[in-house]
A and B are shown apart, each in its own frame.
Chain A
């Protein structure tokens, strides 16, 4: 014990006297000669190399490990790090947008001069612009002027922020353009309908499968099989069956969610502490009452978490679903704005999807902590 403890004071903050004493006094701590190890007793049968190797390993073990059992961070640190996680990519984006020598492969024309094909606002490759400037100078005509610019598909943060605000508040400029809030609301309705429909069948079926092995074996293999068919592949089929409006879109969300849902929830049901079910059986609970009064409440916190994750998946199917039949919702807004090269609006719309998704998730997580105060696992 003493041999292990002695080197410690010498490591991070050596109090001068003690450190010297610690290293010198015990000898053999780091010196590596292994002499104090069992010399007089000489009953050790370990090879001498072993005696030499052991002290040589110590410096490694004193190094601090950055990986280990994860301990919770202090609330302040958590907040700071969360803000940083957003701030770092945002700063990188701002740097690429506002610092002229970082990337900026194009020149935005501000004054075309006598170059016939140039217009103000046009983005020209740097080399082509320099060529025109050189030839204009040689010919003695008016030189074009411009400033370094990024491609049109990378708008600056302030442009996206402006677009974000105007697309939410202002009336559309194009006649056929639809407003972002309306298209977003349409998308949310599609998601909600699809997810509700899927859950209505998927959750009870999942619970029954988890609670009853025969039923599970009868359904899960085929569900497992269908799960690997990508939901969008059913698009054309769904249009043929359900028409071109919202029907097929909801169907794609249902197909994308349902099969995963049954399997995930069946597995969650199977992970219930079996003793709880056995205790309920010895108390006389049977069949549907057992499911309603024990199995469902026992899995409810995890079921809730599963539904939150599945809802996230439903969002990923939304974009493909909305391209099927007549484009609609937020996807229609995005494709339309991209066609007009209003990439600031495109980014704004994508941001809104992210915001709606994560705000929903945060709200559900908060609600979950209220609903299941007895649940100790991470919400």
Chain B
């Protein structure tokens, strides 16, 4: 907040594991905090119709500390959605333990808020009543719940839309309300399953800024699933990289990009190095050779001289 200019280190080719002093100090402080989420030997298998078994997640171990921003990335089919759904209690694990502040997770609960990829605001409730929903479900009387919900709406800057209905809001606004709704029950952890993937580029950048602002002001640990690697580097303290078939921890990367973050940092060496490492983990070089389009695979069907490129 106080040092506005981004810290650019005087090294040109940098290793993603090299951390400048403020970043190192930040991680030290972070790891000194109490554990918010502990995942031990988490395994999830699905029975296939032919009698076989698909291993979606295998032996995932993870510890996150209070107020950490953790991103989870991985190739498609690596089970990142399954992972976050198990954390939310919406799916059961085959083996392993998930605990939030020492309490094992047995089902969905108000200690873990969740924001989904699709729009999940209740269309029959006004924005205010949507945000108040969780409070009411947990025993807060309606008046009080609505008063508290109004404060949450003020926090996300949508108090003017309290009486609107979800279908009157833009996609970004809907997701902001969904975040407020998930936070209103004061969860310890906010789980986000690709929450901005349906938004256009501009709204997404704005939503990332909103999310960072909210995260700074509220005592919350965030587990954020994304397939956008730039988004992961931009947001995360640490990035959990999963590999596919079976979904295993490929690496837990500590992002060396200093905070506060801005989109200009995409040009810094730390950002590049981290991004390059993610690319290497998620798109191994052999895939690219397979994906490349050879120049002669498509038969020419136009006149000579009628070139477009």
The interface of chain A, by Cβ under 8 A from chain B, is 36-41, 43-46, 273, 275-276, 278-286, 289, 293-294, 297-298, 300, 372-376
Residues 103-144 (chain B) with a chain A CB within 8 angstroms: 107-110, 112-114, 116, 118, 120, 122-125, 133-134, 137-138
Among residues of B, the one whose C-beta sits closest to the C-beta of A278 is B90
Which residue in B108, B112, B122, B166 is a CB contact (below 8 Å) of A297?
Answer: B122
**Pick the contact of A44 from B110, B181, B299 — CB < 8 Å?**
B299
Most buried by A among B88, B124, B166: B124
The reply to whether A282 and B90 contact each other, CB–CB distance below 8 Å, is yes
Minimum C-beta distance from A142 to chain B (A)? 80
Cα distance A373–B301 in the bound complex, in angstroms: 53
User: A41 CA to B302 CA in the complex, in Å?
Assistant: 9
Hey, which bits of chain B sit against chain A, CB under 8 A? 88-90, 107-110, 112-114, 116, 118, 120, 122-125, 133-134, 137-138, 165-167, 178, 181-182, 185, 191, 299-305
Q: Which residues of A contact B114 (CB under 8 A)?
A: 278-279, 282
B134 and A284 form a contact (CB under 8 A): yes
Other-chain contact of A374, B90, B165, B185 (Cβ < 8 Å): B165
Using CB atoms, name the residue of chain A closest to B191. Answer: A282
A171 and B156 alpha carbons, distance in the complex (Å): 71
- B182 CB contact (under 8 Å) in A36, A41, A283: A283
Closest to A282 in B: B114
Once A and B bind, how many residue pairs between them come within 8 Å at the CB atom? 98
> Is the pair A283, B90 in contact by a Cβ cutoff of 8 Å?
no
Are B303 and A40 interface neighbours, CB within 8 A? yes
Knowing that A276-B122, A280-B122, A374-B166 touch, tell me 12 more A-B residue pairs with CB under 8 angstroms: A38-B300, A38-B303, A38-B304, A41-B304, A45-B299, A275-B120, A282-B109, A282-B110, A286-B137, A298-B123, A298-B124, A374-B124
A sample of 16 inter-chain contacts (CB < 8 A) reads A40-B303, A40-B305, A43-B299, A44-B299, A45-B299, A275-B116, A275-B118, A279-B120, A281-B107, A282-B114, A284-B110, A297-B124, A298-B123, A300-B124, A373-B165, A374-B123
Q: Contact at B301–A283, with CB atoms within 8 Å?
A: no
Q: Would A283 and B118 count as touching, CB distance under 8 A?
A: no
Asked if residues A374 and B137 are in contact (CB atoms below 8 Å), the reply is: no
Chain B residue numbers with a CB within 8 Å of A276 are 120, 122
**Are A282 and B137 neighbours in the complex by a CB distance under 8 Å?**
no
